[in-house]
Structure 1
Amino acid sequence: MDRKEFAREQKWLDRVYKEIDEQLAEQEAQVREFYAEMREIRRSLSEEHRISSAGDKRLMDAAQRIVELRHGAVEFGIQHRLLRQLRALERNPYFGRIDFREEGAPSSEAIYVGVRSLLDRATGWPLVYDWRAPISSMFYDYGLGEAQYTGPGGTYRGEITLKRQYGIKHRQLQYMFDNELTIDDEILREALGRNATAKMRTIVNTIQREQNQAIRNDQDARLLVEGAAGSGKTSVALHRVAYMLYKYRESLEPENILVFSPNKIFSDYISQVLPDLGEENVPQLTYREFAESFFDWQWDVETHVAYLEELLSQDEDERQRRLERCSFKSSPAFQRVLDALIQLVTGEAAAFSDIYMGKKLLMSAAEQERLFGESYAYLPVQKRLLKIRQRILHVLRPLKKRRLRAVLNAIQQEAAFEGETWLAKAREAVRRVRRELEPLLTRLNSQYKVDSITWYRRLWQDPGLWERVAGELKAPSGAGESLRTLDEGCIAFEDVVPLMYLKGELEGYPLRRGILHVVVDEVQDYAPLQLRVLTSTFPAARYTLVGDVYQSLHPYVWGSSADQLEELFAGLDLRTVRLNKSYRSTQEIFRFCSALLGGSGAETVLRTGRKPQVYQTAPGKQVELIAGRIKAHLENGYEMIAVITKTAQECHRIYGALRELDLEVEPTLLVKESGEFQKGVLVLPVFLAKGLEFDAVIIADASSQCYGAGHDKRLLYVACSRALHDLDLVCPGELSPFLRSLPADLKCNSKCNG
């Protein structure tokens, strides 16, 4: 690139910064003004308006000031958000440019692409285009030559005559170069080669073509993004949220979107991506939180993390039995059993009889059947019964009043009540009528009620009921053992989704029609029935599901032998996008992890590094070796180092031993799903590491005793694939069979005596 062109680009950058500075100064002044105004309103409310002793006029004045304060707070939020966006532009105004000549135009237009738009206030013309703008899509989808984009006025065709990328730091142009590709490998390698930070990075300046197509897909109501570890699935999902909020900003607000995260650590990890893209306050929750709200917070729900910790800590026989129970209760076969149970309950609920008050017919069985099967057929069973019960009570009400008057008249004639007050006689009349009606009211309260948990208990406790709804299908031995937790007010992990489904179908789903887009991360840990519950609860929503079948920690998926997630979720009418390139790990770590699976079909960006290191040592020297590897990684300048164990119990042991050694950085123990993701040395179990990434990963125990069972291969793969630059596997004992079977050229083996 010649110096004159470089100077011209720096001059344009200076022009952009001049506009940013002017807008920043104006915006900061406006925010200060709003802040001062709100402080004045608050001061006047506290000092001038003594509410407790105020007259009507003063109260009206105070009410007006409160309204002003509320309006000011809303406006202050808007202005403060604009200020944050301008400050983000100040950090890095743009990262790319295309010159596009539209068909019929005499010349090309230079289109600078950044995280947010910047308008020239004098002309109203864009100096920088938001990456989500329709015209910006060409930056990701096309090289030089013919190109097109679809905007509000239709499809615009033309030619890209220049494509350029920039590196900007401290308001100075560091480098720029022209290329035909979407993202030049040099920029991509530079971005991927950085240390991991405490929060997940945005990928807006390195979005690849296949990722861009997934992000901007707004035709498909249910999109499944499937890809290998490190392929950017989560980033794509979050960028898709930002894109939707930008494109449909007139009708879509952050509160209309819901992101399901596997745990609070992961939520914290991804929390900075959307604010960096200009979108904030998008709600996030875990499936456990959703489930507990589903049950009106009346039950505790065992988390996936707690379930896995118990599972991985059990002996092989106990583990296998619970795996079978959980896998069965997540299967389509068991859903068919539940559907048969729902039909049976519906049939029994429809077995009505005439309802009398004394000799007076309140509602015939035929009328109840008509209401149940016709008028209220659109409702779930429980709500139909409640409607019928309400109608019966409506008919009963005037008859009850008439009966009260008659009984009261009779009491007034009784000698026993002579001299009593009218109130005493009325109380006696109420008591007598209540006793008369007690059998009827008890019947209405019991017969016209369906309790899902009671029926679920019966399913496992009554062999006759099981045979009626399951036929010849046999449940795994001990399948009802988890019901013991219900007596303690807790729902076991394997029973959560079946009970939610049963409750939703029989009693009604807690519909949330205001949610218009749902993102489900780590969807490989969901059973099909879980997604059925979600789609029934959020019927108006579009869905973005992201995951990787090879990283599943769900027993049903383990036992399904499915190679692709769309096989598991075939009934959801999904459009699938596959991301086949991994951007996280070096080529050496990627090849090692891929070989663990027996080949994943994915590719990797050509970024090289050190081969994974396997250290065999005596059990008593394990922690000392781990500490040595931590020190070596700290000397390399790594900011994020993870010591990954199989269980939380092992985390506590390793963490305690590491704290007694002289480490440069105090390690952080992360064993609860509500923990906070932060920089430094983390000691955490594999099931909390899933979805995260680290500069260096140390597998604390890669022995056959720790990773020897068939399902352990997935766990080991998940743990190893967290590493960006360095991967160490410490083996205090016999090496895991999954490592022994790997080709020798994929790893370096070392025997350590201390």
Structure 2
Amino acid sequence: MPASHPLDSEPLDDERAHLTASRAALRAMRADAEALDIRDVTANWVNAEVLQAEIDNRIKALADLAHTPLFFGRIDYQGHPGQQGDAQYYIGRRHVHDADGDPMVIDWRAPVSQPFYRASKRDPQHVALRRRFGYTGGELTAYEDEHLTDPAEADQASALLQSEIERPRVGPMRDIVATIQPEQDEIVRAGADGTVCVQGAPGTGKTAVGLHRVAYLLYAHRERLARTGTLVIGPNRSFLHYIEQVLPALGELEVKQSTVAELVAHVPVGGTDDAETARIKGDVRMAEVLRRAVRSGVTMPTEPCVVVRGSRRWRIPAHELTEITEELLSRHIRYGAARDALPQRIAHAVLIRMEQSGEAPDDRVQDAVARNSAVKAAVKAIWPAVDPVKLVLRLLTDADFLAEQAEGLLTPDEQKAILWIKPPRGVKSAKWSAADTVLIDEAADLVSRTHSLGHVVLDEAQDLSPMQYRAVGRRCTTGSATILGDLAQGTTPWATASWAEALEHLGKPDAAVEELTQGFRVPREVIAYASRLLPAIAPGLTPATSIRESPGDFSVRSVAAADLNAAVLDACRAALRREGSIGLIAADARIPALAAALDAAGLAYLAPGEETSAESRLTLVPATLAKGLEYDYVVLDEPAAIVDGEPDDRTGLRRLYVALTRAVSGLTIIHAAPLPPELNT
């Protein structure tokens, strides 16, 4: 197995000296950036502002985080192609060079670093030695060697790798750059031009893989993505707060984060839909309903358009206007773009008549004709402007209009389900639901093209409706995407049934689908227990396995109903006596009672997304917000209540599956009601 070397090992002094020198070099790099004087190199104040912003970002990226190891590994090449003799590289989160420009630490994303993650006994990739470093509080305390070309050394799991994976989690999510596995690395380094969909069981690191892929793409294609932009989309703000420090720790400060709801926030959300109504509004058929509605106002002309210029009158008959209108409709371009083209097309018809009469008009004349009041009046009558918000409001409040646009698409009962019972007086008084805002976003794109980014990461994608997929897809039509999710964790009534279907709605049907089944986070006994639910919630998925050598602390306790809260508090106190974060996960309906019990007992706690606070290591987590989060120890309150809190048993069992798989080191289940029978198999 790899040789692990403790604190008193002689080479450790050399490695510490290299760490000290590397930190000094990083400080010098930052000092050089801070000393840059741009007063004589910018042409104007605009250029100066842009350049100064880039310098400020560079200074931030060069910050030396005291408790974050500057390098976590070393590889010694032997006879590497392109190298003269042997070569040694330290692998870290960012590039560091000395005063002469020679590298002291190589960025983990650089091609020369790749063998650190992928080299093995079977395929050493010219690496003779791989060394991993162990840290305590930012101090280098141990190292571990793997001699990949030594046949006498067995190929076994790394103790330091296990230690890093199992290190207690306090605060927000951290990067996995020191522990990326070969199958994860292949996804991280996938090309920028292709979309990748990752089906990942709990604990397989799919979220971290997606974030590290963004960091890699920004390294490999920085200029392109700096121009087109990148975006990380998460299921809720609590989740985004939890992951927000990962990319800055890797030196990437400019990646924006959003939820789907924030992407489509054209109007404030003040209403809610029942599950069936939301499902219908999220159905892909609504895209065609909206397309028809947007174009419904186009009216074929019955009168000619007569343009007066000076003493001449130019007449475009109704049938020719109809031909122009029908041709624009047949091209299926954006409604707004077609409306902008219509006056130019009418003006062009006028110019043809001018030329036929012996005049020689130029483009300025055509533009003037397009602005003529008669042409404007014709365009207004033929192709009226469309306000996406008002259009969707009309669809949801005008039964006749909806019936006309939804004919052959939605049944009468489905139409009735999405109509508002009490129509508002106007747009400002409307109580829009989250599903309504997605419809408005679709309508807005039908009118005017949505801006496309260079790369989008979509996490917890299994919970999106077809219309939400379309909303995300619009943001990366000319770019690529990383889609992350787990079909077994789909907890919405409209959760996707297959990734092929989801990718079709997203507009990326040719995306590669990769499956991660090797768990690194969830203890062996915990994932095995949770996997009992898979036959009921996702029978086609492969159960996850765990590389964790320790089974983890796992217990299931049955108590009397009257003792439930007290037993939960005792379990929380026991967890707090250990190192690490604690998540108390419960059905949403149980949260007020548990909050009151915690307050009465004097146990401080946080809400999801507040994990950066030092006030408490205990977080009270509603089951509906648990997805994507992780805690060292989880106390799970009343599984039956979590199942009962959902509209159907399958969704409830999926919600329970999510809650069961949030633990890193230990899980205690406290219940008074009988457990779901699926857990007793």
Q: Same fold (TM over 0.5)?
A: yes
- Listed one character per residue, the Cα deviations across residues 372-408 of structure 1 (whole Å, up to 9, x for unaligned) are 3446846322442354368879999xxxxxxxxxxxx
How many residue pairs were aligned?
626
Aligned pair partner of 1:81 in 41, 50, 60 = 60
> How far apart are 1:631 and its partner, in Å?
0.8
Q: CA 1:179–1:460 in 2, change beyond 3 Å: closer, same or farther?
A: farther
> How far apart are 1:179 and its partner, in Å?
5.5
Aligned pair partner of 2:12 in 3, 10, 18 = 10
**Contact conserved, 2:131 with 2:143, CA < 8 A, in 1?**
no
Distance 2:530 2:27 in 1: 51
Q: CA 1:591–1:14 in 2, change beyond 3 Å: closer, same or farther?
A: closer
Aligned pair partner of 1:221 in 187, 191, 194 = 194
Once the two structures are aligned, what percentage of the paired residues are identical? Answer: 25
Distance 1:207 1:137 in 2: 11
1:113-124 equivalences in 2 (<5 Å): 113-122=91-100, 124=101
Confirm or deny that 1:534 pairs with 2:472: yes
> How far apart are 1:650 and its partner, in Å?
3.4
Aligned residue in 2 for 1:325: 277
> How far apart are 1:461 and its partner, in Å?
4.1
Aligned residue in 2 for 1:642: 583
Q: Secondary structure at the match of 1:742?
A: helix
Aligned pair partner of 1:444 in 370, 380, 385 = 380
- For 1:634, give the aligned amino acid: L
1:46-125 equivalences in 2 (<5 Å): 70=49, 73-74=52-53, 76-78=55-57, 80-81=59-60, 83-84=62-63, 86=64, 91-102=69-80, 107-122=85-100, 124-125=101-102
* Structure 2 segments unaligned to the other structure (5+ residues): 149-153, 351-372
Aligned residue in 2 for 1:162: 129
Q: CA 1:681–1:221 in 2, change beyond 3 Å: closer, same or farther?
A: same
Aligned residue in 2 for 1:608: 551
- Listed one character per residue, the Cα deviations across residues 668-696 of structure 1 (whole Å, up to 9, x for unaligned) are 345xxx86764522223112121101122
Q: CA 1:362–1:221 in 2, change beyond 3 Å: closer, same or farther?
A: farther
- For 1:644, give the aligned amino acid: I
Q: Pick the structure with greater CA Rg.
A: 1
Q: CA 1:485–1:596 in 2, change beyond 3 Å: closer, same or farther?
A: farther
- Listed one character per residue, the Cα deviations across residues 181-219 of structure 1 (whole Å, up to 9, x for unaligned) are 999342332122222121111111110111000000006
1:196-207 equivalences in 2 (<5 Å): 196-207=169-180
> How far apart are 1:127 and its partner, in Å?
3.1
Confirm or deny that 1:617 pairs with 2:560: yes
Confirm or deny that 1:354 pairs with 2:303: yes
Q: CA 1:394–1:622 in 2, change beyond 3 Å: closer, same or farther?
A: farther
Aligned pair partner of 1:26 in 11, 25, 28 = 28
- Listed one character per residue, the Cα deviations across residues 321-355 of structure 1 (whole Å, up to 9, x for unaligned) are x32332233334x24xx426625753761522325
Distance 1:612 1:568 in 2: 37
Aligned pair partner of 2:492 in 551, 554, 567 = 554
Confirm or deny that 1:498 pairs with 2:439: yes
Aligned pair partner of 1:565 in 499, 503, 507 = 499
Distance 1:517 1:608 in 2: 38
- For 1:450, give the aligned amino acid: V
**Contact conserved, 1:254 with 1:281, CA < 8 A, in 2?**
no
Aligned pair partner of 2:206 in 230, 233, 238 = 233
- Listed one character per residue, the Cα deviations across residues 428-478 of structure 1 (whole Å, up to 9, x for unaligned) are xxxxxxxxx99x969937962334455544477446863774427525554
**Contact conserved, 1:459 with 1:466, CA < 8 A, in 2?**
no
Distance 1:271 1:64 in 2: 36
Confirm or deny that 1:715 pairs with 2:655: yes
Aligned residue in 2 for 1:628: 570
Q: CA 1:5–1:103 in 2, change beyond 3 Å: closer, same or farther?
A: farther
Distance 1:323 1:281 in 2: 37
Confirm or deny that 1:300 pairs with 2:268: yes
Confirm or deny that 1:466 pairs with 2:400: no
**Contact conserved, 2:585 with 2:636, CA < 8 A, in 1?**
yes
Aligned pair partner of 1:735 in 662, 674, 679 = 674
**Contact conserved, 1:237 with 1:546, CA < 8 A, in 2?**
yes
> How far apart are 1:535 and its partner, in Å?
2.5
Distance 1:485 1:166 in 2: 65
> How far apart are 1:724 and its partner, in Å?
1.6
- For 1:240, give the aligned amino acid: R
Confirm or deny that 1:654 pairs with 2:606: no
> How far apart are 1:524 and its partner, in Å?
0.9
> How far apart are 1:118 and its partner, in Å?
2.7
Distance 1:485 1:632 in 2: 54
**Contact conserved, 1:164 with 1:177, CA < 8 A, in 2?**
yes
Aligned pair partner of 1:489 in 430, 444, 457 = 430
Distance 1:214 1:493 in 2: 32
- Listed one character per residue, the Cα deviations across residues 114-146 of structure 1 (whole Å, up to 9, x for unaligned) are 222233433x44333211111211121221354
Moved more, 598-607 or 462-471: 462-471
- Listed one character per residue, the Cα deviations across residues 236-272 of structure 1 (whole Å, up to 9, x for unaligned) are 0110011111112343329711111212211111111
**Contact conserved, 1:117 with 1:126, CA < 8 A, in 2?**
yes
- Listed one character per residue, the Cα deviations across residues 214-241 of structure 1 (whole Å, up to 9, x for unaligned) are 0000065211111011111110011001
Aligned pair partner of 1:249 in 210, 222, 229 = 222
Indicate the RMSD between aligned Cα atoms, in angstroms. 4.0
Distance 2:104 2:90 in 1: 7
- Listed one character per residue, the Cα deviations across residues 27-57 of structure 1 (whole Å, up to 9, x for unaligned) are 46546656xx89xx9xxxxxxxxxxxxxxxx
Distance 2:54 2:387 in 1: 48
Q: CA 1:325–1:210 in 2, change beyond 3 Å: closer, same or farther?
A: same
Q: CA 1:633–1:65 in 2, change beyond 3 Å: closer, same or farther?
A: same
1:677-688 equivalences in 2 (<5 Å): 678=613, 680-688=617-625
Confirm or deny that 1:699 pairs with 2:636: yes
Q: CA 1:484–1:533 in 2, change beyond 3 Å: closer, same or farther?
A: farther
Distance 2:133 2:517 in 1: 27
Q: Secondary structure at the match of 2:644?
A: coil
Aligned residue in 2 for 1:372: 325
Distance 1:637 1:529 in 2: 44
Distance 1:192 1:325 in 2: 43
Distance 2:440 2:16 in 1: 62
- Listed one character per residue, the Cα deviations across residues 587-624 of structure 1 (whole Å, up to 9, x for unaligned) are 11111111122375221123312223233322x43322
- Listed one character per residue, the Cα deviations across residues 547-577 of structure 1 (whole Å, up to 9, x for unaligned) are 11111122112xx6x3x43343346322111
Aligned residue in 2 for 1:426: none
**Contact conserved, 1:696 with 1:727, CA < 8 A, in 2?**
yes
> How far apart are 1:581 and its partner, in Å?
1.2
**Contact conserved, 1:699 with 1:720, CA < 8 A, in 2?**
yes
Q: Secondary structure at the match of 1:695?
A: strand
**Contact conserved, 2:281 with 2:439, CA < 8 A, in 1?**
yes
| TM-score normalised by L of structure 1 | 0.73
Q: CA 1:519–1:24 in 2, change beyond 3 Å: closer, same or farther?
A: closer
| TM-score normalised by L of structure 2 | 0.80
- Tell me which protein shows more helix as a share of its residues: 1
